[in-house]
Structure 1
Amino acid sequence: MKNWMWIAIGLMIVVAVFYLIKWKNAGVPERNKVPLDQAYLNFQAINEQYQSKLFKIERICTVAARSASSPEPIRVFQTVNQQLIIDADPKVDEETKNDYRYYKLDQQGRLVDSIYIKYEGYWPKFIARFMVFSNEQKAYYTTWPLDGDTTRHHFVSLNADFSWPKDKIDQKIRAVKKSGHYYFFHAFRDHGKDFRWLAFYEQQHWYMLWEKMPGYTEVADEDSGYRYRSDVFHTGTPDPVIPEDVRLIHFYPEEKMEYKHAIGGGTPPSSATNWRGKGFFSTVIAGNNFPFKVDQLVVEQEGFDKFKTRLYTLREPGGVARIYEPAFYRSEQGFALYSGNWDELYIIRPQ
């Protein structure tokens, strides 16, 4: 009786192992049995565990959500004193979706300040050393980009009672534009009436010059306050074609997999079968070679575009491939910013 019991247990184990192997190999028709060349064993993924005598890596920020209204959830732009400001979407839920989050890097790429701003109905604009906040009725500014000061300084209103004649308003607008100082327009409709105000900086003060308009007025791009900001780097709109400043040294296939490409726009995903494995790359940062690896990588080359190298990552068989772009921003001071996906940003500094 005991012998039959052990036989039954043995059969159950065999069946369980069979189904485990079958489950593990689902969507994986083939595996590579050739070991990885030892020349690539010391390559490391780009994260805070990267060990090097030449480079130090830190993660600056991550974002939790991405939407059609914010396809580039991490944005980087230049500001005063050769510093960089990182604008990272803070949304984690409906309550935080309109808030603002910024990080400031100095010339050496060190994180020197950060700020989180709850949405209070104002839209921020970065204009040189000023951070200007405005809505349809009011405006104030801080000097956080320059010195980290978040003290609110309110604008001085001109013609708030609309007593100025039209020619006086036009004359002031021409003088402001000619002076070369900072300025921008904002136009809006309130209770069926149209208004416009001109914000401008003059004699160490910010002003708002009010004006009634005969109808709807559209502010041209060259008169918008957003023209003073120029992004130099962002995440979220990657290109699968490998950048020219990055070289794929070697691809080590591990398992052949079935997967999908999400095309979007209501078009059904397309299917593909390819090898997933490890990619070994190199680029140059601060004049030194910077090697790194990427796990779960899929490399595609198709004849329709002259066999350009396209990169994707794939978590599991049958899943949707995610575009991978090893994107770097290199500063003149030597440090670099890196992002492979829309949700995180790293800084790589020379040791």
Structure 2
Amino acid sequence: MLKSVHLFGCSSGFVSNLLKPNSIVGFSLTSISSKRLSASSSLSCSSSILSCSSSASLFLAPRTGSFKAFCGSTCSEANQEGTSSSPLSMSESPPPSSSTVVHSSSLMQEKIRNIRFCQWCGGQTKHGIPDGEEKLRAICTVCGRITYQNPKMVVGCLIHHENKVLLCRRKIEPSYGLWTLPAGYLEIGESAADGAIRETLEEANAEVEVTSPFAQLDIPLIGQTYIIFVGKLKKPHFSPGPESLECRLFPLDDIPFDSLAFSSMLVTLRLYVEDVKAGRTTFHYGTINKRPGTGASDIHAYTLDYHLRL
């Protein structure tokens, strides 16, 4: 379930193998480079200083007295789809507006500037553009390591059973009480398919078999990539997990599109219904550009750009 912030991990997708070239952009997972900056390295510092919410790293062992301060300064990613223009039909794929791109870049700089302490040694960081790079980074003034932020991967299953799809009603925030496919953050050490199977078991107590990948949806503004699989029930049994109020099979015509939790779920289910009506399920790649300033509950405030059917 989408509820926790992960600071280390990897993000990849099927499209990187199916579509060339492919670029996934975003931010949220924090990783550390062992690359050190020499004393002669020049840094070009940005002038805009922004603020953002913070969260603690729960698994890093403190090495200095600065650790508590580091925990308070580490940038967190809201556990929600954050922020896009009027909905388009699935066939429309215009380029993202310049305002969306600029806002995404500003958010990334905001998050980088709020990394004030090194996750490696606890030393204070400075912010600048290292030689050979183009983006603002957080650089440790003690050990010289650079802290990078990378996208989070969300994996889930679209379970099709007897011409119905399995949805779970969320028991946690964000989007409490709204419907979603069983999905959540990929864990370190598991494949995307394994993560989708695990999330389905956790949220719907359903044992499933993944039959095919269905969609990769990137949401650059909030630094998330969704990988959704089509799956089938191994046994015709399911029930709400601890993070679900209820689980239900919906006929395609009865899917509660106005009560879905996230834009990613809306896009996925619309694409699936279109495919079923067309008589053929395909693999979809697209970028969901959320309108800056809108919240997770504004599920229709997006454009689907670069939509490809493979």
The TM-score, its normalising length taken from structure 2, stands at 0.24
Larger radius of gyration between Structure 1 and Structure 2: 1
Structure with the bigger percentage of helix: 2
